[in-house]
């Protein structure tokens, strides 16, 4: 199925880190924000790293407040958030099924902020960024493990927290 990315990036002029996923999952697209599947561990991992608790859950009865809370969190910690792709063909949330990928244009974010490091969450995001985008932007980029529940056996939450913390906090 052809999917067009319709979620705006979160960033401001003070953002120093850009975190990129691949393409929002169906649950995130339906919710209108990133990593909103209730079993995705992105927000719990960041919550633990920065020692902050989200009042509104991913599947909250108040989705607008959950989104607002997460945007404020990102900006407070100088994190920009978006996805590598603007359009692609994808089956559900299966990154391995991606075809005809078209990248987002990160030039406005990069040129109007203080981004000094880009992190791609998951192997597909990292590979697509390296293939389609890296040569366009002179910013170091790195891999972060996916927070999807699909890789929970190899990347339990504690291990994710350790990995994310080692890369995000030192910046």
pLDDT tens-digit profile, the chain (171 residues) = 899 999 999 999 999 999 999 999 999 999 999 999 989 999 999 999 999 999 887 766 788 999 999 999 999 999 999 999 999 999 988 888 899 999 999 999 999 999 999 999 999 999 999 999 999 999 999 999 999 988 899 999 999 999 999 999 865
In the residue annotation, 58 being an active-site residue is answered as: no
pLDDT of residue 117: 97
CB atoms within 10 A of CB 73: 17
Query: 2-168: what fold?
Result: Uracil-DNA Glycosylase, subunit E (3.40.470)
Q: Which two tokens stand for residue 15?
A: 């953002």
At 21, list the tokens: 């996923």
What per-residue confidence (pLDDT) applies to 171? 58
Pick the catalytic residue from 40, 51, 138, 151: 40
Beta-strand (E) ranges in the chain? 2-4, 17-21, 79-83, 85-91, 94-103, 117-121, 141-144
Q: 62: number of CA atoms within 13 Å, CB side?
A: 8
Q: Rounded CA gap, 7 and 83, in Å?
A: 9
Contact status, residue 23 vs residue 83, Cβ threshold 8 Å:
yes
Q: In what side-by-side order are the strands of the sheet with 117-121?
A: 79-83, 17-21, 117-121, 141-144
Please report, for the chain, the start and end positions of each structural domain, with discontinuous segments joined by +. Answer: 2-168
For residue 10, the SS3 value is: strand
Rounded to whole angstroms, how far apart are CA atoms 17 and 139?
Answer: 10
Residue 8 is predicted with a pLDDT of 97
Q: How many CB atoms lie within 10 A of CB 83?
A: 24
- pLDDT, position 62: 86
């Amino acid at each position: 199925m052809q999917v067009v990315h319709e979620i705006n990036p979160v960033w401001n002029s003070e953002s120093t880190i850009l975190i990129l996923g691949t393409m929002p999952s169906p649950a995130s697209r339906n919710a209108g924000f990133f990593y909103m599947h209730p079993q995705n561990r992105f927000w719990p991992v960041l919550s633990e790293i920065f020692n902050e608790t989200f009042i509104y859950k991913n599947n909250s009865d108040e989705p607008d407040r959950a989104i607002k809370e997460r945007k404020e969190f990102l900006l407070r910690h100088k994190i920009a958030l978006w996805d590598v792709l603007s359009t692609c063909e994808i089956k559900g949330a299966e990154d391995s099924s991606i075809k005809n990928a078209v990248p987002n244009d990160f030039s406005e974010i990069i040129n109007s902020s203080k981004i000094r490091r880009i992190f791609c969450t998951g192997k597909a995001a990292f590979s697509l960024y390296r293939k389609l985008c890296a040569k366009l932007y002179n910013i170091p980029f790195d891999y972060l493990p996916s927070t999807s529940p699909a890789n929970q056996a190899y990347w339990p939450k504690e291990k994710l927290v350790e990995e994310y913390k080692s890369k995000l906090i030192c910046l």
